[in-house]
Chains A and B, each alone.
Chain A
């Protein structure tokens, strides 16, 4: 390979999610000091010219490299964890780093009642506190109400649904949303009650009745109320939530700037969506989404997520991962994603 090709290959090996270890070994491994010197002089994005006449690593890139090298290890550790410990640790991290409301809503709403309960138990063991006391003491205002209720939920999971009540509750949501200009839906006690206590089947029935009554989809009508929109999506359409496109910035209605402020949301939930996370120029929090979603859903509904992804974006999820990820990390993701085919 010509030197310039090699440099190109090396740069690629460092870019994207994970590290292409094989390329690093086969190229870097055989380079003499002069070749490595030219590499340092030739790649201005990794190395910078120091005033004392030598090329030094750009610190940001070392940090970035560390992250990429760790990506495989983190995925492994997460994969081998008991699902309860996994969710408890993800929740803790989401709470302390942010808080990332999206991740918390994701965990609270996409896990089954027993899985969520297990995560709460694991949280007791790992952190000697309950998740609800931690969330309640670190989050305030209206967000607290939603998050604590969602994370404390222990929904009925049987088949029985009362269609009459579902219809009435769809009407209640309709009215609350119509009124959202004066009072955001999330501040309506009844909206919270319905979304945080009813069984998932019941909420799906409410979703259906809502469409029949108003002609629109409940999650789309909740566009302006971030937390609620993601709650509904996670409860009713988890595969869509996990595969859909994120909007780069979620625009808040100017009247309610404190509700789920941009800082906590735009990089997160709706956002936590594979398509947009699978890009090379996104931030670390978004990149972590890829590992989290694939590892936590590999045993659950990966097949449906893949189908949903293919339908919406034309490309297959595997192809996208091949394009954007490297090395062992890539192989691991592909293996997990392929499990859905069995």
Chain B
């Protein structure tokens, strides 16, 4: 369930004019920006961008980039992008991250989006960067992590309901055998995790748990401490329970000394119109404090106000 609180009918022209007013004069009226943009759906935001461009012959995004700053600006920039475009930008930022790519983001987006959604992201990436995400990813990674991420990013999974129970059983065994031999980077593990349909994969992971009494991620903790294994476990968590995964990302982002704003922004902006409500509930259950309060405690200023607007109702 979404947390975003947006009016059913909004006038893009009025919104564009109100934003223009917020930019005028000394400084920016950030509250106005938050009260408008923080309460509009993706479609409404698109209409506002068009209206603004038509009336003022200027790209609203560029204007916002120059008017705002810091974490607040980053958050608004990500928020105002069309969701597919946003994912493309997040992926590019993750790939170009230094000193090493932000593998987790790449796994997160490629594993949580549906095959069709991710395909649209790949197209958006090509339009924006004039290269394919596969070529950028491959040229910025190597070794086992490249094998895994490349496979996760290239795949176009079957998205139907057909599940083959016998296959799920046999592939659970294949996974177990590879793990027992401590061949965590075995081709077969990568094959199964990156090519099978989500439903088929979940059936396989369930069989694994049934047959071996532990979830596969616990067995994978046993391996060497490398990026590849972290990415593999992340992928499996994303398949199993994306909301639980997101809750953990937020929890870590807030607990970390000096808050990981990038991660916090990414999750909230990405899920505000999807399932942030569920994530909020999970957060409360796990941490006995509401996400509203936690964000309030660990962030400040306009950035805080913006995030809390996206978080919707405070309960």
Residues of A within 8 A of B (CB): 117, 120-121, 124, 128-130, 132-133, 136-137, 140, 144, 148-149, 152-158, 160, 189, 193, 196-199
Checking A133, A157, A160 against B196 with a beta-carbon cut-off of 8 angstroms, the contacting residue is A133
Checking B130, B154, B155 against A156 with a beta-carbon cut-off of 8 angstroms, the contacting residue is B130
Instruction: Given A130-B156, A156-B135, A197-B132, decide whether A137 and B142 contact each other with a Cβ distance below 8 A.
Output: no
**Which A residues are in CB contact (< 8 Å) with B155?**
130, 132, 152
A148 and B280 CA atoms in complex are apart in Å by: 39
A198 and B134 CA atoms in complex are apart in Å by: 8
Most A Cβ at <10 Å: residue of B155, B195, B196: B195
Q: In the complex, how many angstroms separate the beta carbon of B174 from the nearest chain A beta carbon?
A: 10
**Which A residues are in CB contact (< 8 Å) with B157?**
130, 133
Asked whether, in the complex, the Cβ of B156 is within 8 Å of the Cβ of A117, the reply is yes
Give the A-B pair count, Cβ closer than 8 A.
Answer: 82
What 1/0 mask marks residues of chain B from 145 to 168 whose CB sits below 8 Å from any chain A CB? 010001100111111101000000
Asked whether, in the complex, the Cβ of A130 is within 8 Å of the Cβ of B195, the reply is yes
The 4 closest A-B pairs by CB, nearest first: A152-B154, A133-B195, A197-B135, A160-B130
Q: List 26 A-B contacts (CB under 8 A).
A: A124-B159, A128-B158, A128-B160, A129-B158, A130-B197, A132-B154, A132-B195, A133-B158, A133-B197, A136-B195, A137-B191, A137-B195, A144-B187, A148-B151, A152-B151, A152-B154, A152-B156, A155-B134, A155-B135, A156-B130, A158-B126, A160-B130, A193-B146, A196-B138, A197-B135, A198-B135
Q: In the complex, how many angstroms separate the beta carbon of A85 from the nearest chain B beta carbon?
A: 16
Asked whether, in the complex, the Cβ of B158 is within 8 Å of the Cβ of A155, the reply is no
Asked whether, in the complex, the Cβ of B162 is within 8 Å of the Cβ of A128, the reply is yes
Q: In the complex, how many angstroms separate the beta carbon of B176 from the nearest chain A beta carbon?
A: 17
A124 and B199 CA atoms in complex are apart in Å by: 14
* B163: nearest chain-A partner, CB-CB: A128
A139 and B96 CA atoms in complex are apart in Å by: 33
**Which A residues are in CB contact (< 8 Å) with B130?**
156, 158, 160
The answer to the question of B139 belonging to the interface, with a C-beta cut-off of 8 Å to chain A, is yes
A117 and B122 CA atoms in complex are apart in Å by: 12
* B153: nearest chain-A partner, CB-CB: A152
**Which A residues are in CB contact (< 8 Å) with B191?**
133, 136-137, 144
Asked whether, in the complex, the Cβ of A124 is within 8 Å of the Cβ of B154, the reply is no
* A152: nearest chain-B partner, CB-CB: B154
Asked whether, in the complex, the Cβ of A124 is within 8 Å of the Cβ of B158, the reply is yes
Q: In the complex, how many angstroms separate the beta carbon of A160 from the nearest chain B beta carbon?
A: 4
Checking A121, A124, A144, A199 against B132 with a beta-carbon cut-off of 8 angstroms, the contacting residue is A199
A198 and B130 CA atoms in complex are apart in Å by: 11
Q: In the complex, how many angstroms separate the beta carbon of B140 from the nearest chain A beta carbon?
A: 11
A156 and B157 CA atoms in complex are apart in Å by: 20
Q: In the complex, how many angstroms separate the beta carbon of B283 from the nearest chain A beta carbon?
A: 35
The answer to the question of B131 belonging to the interface, with a C-beta cut-off of 8 Å to chain A, is yes
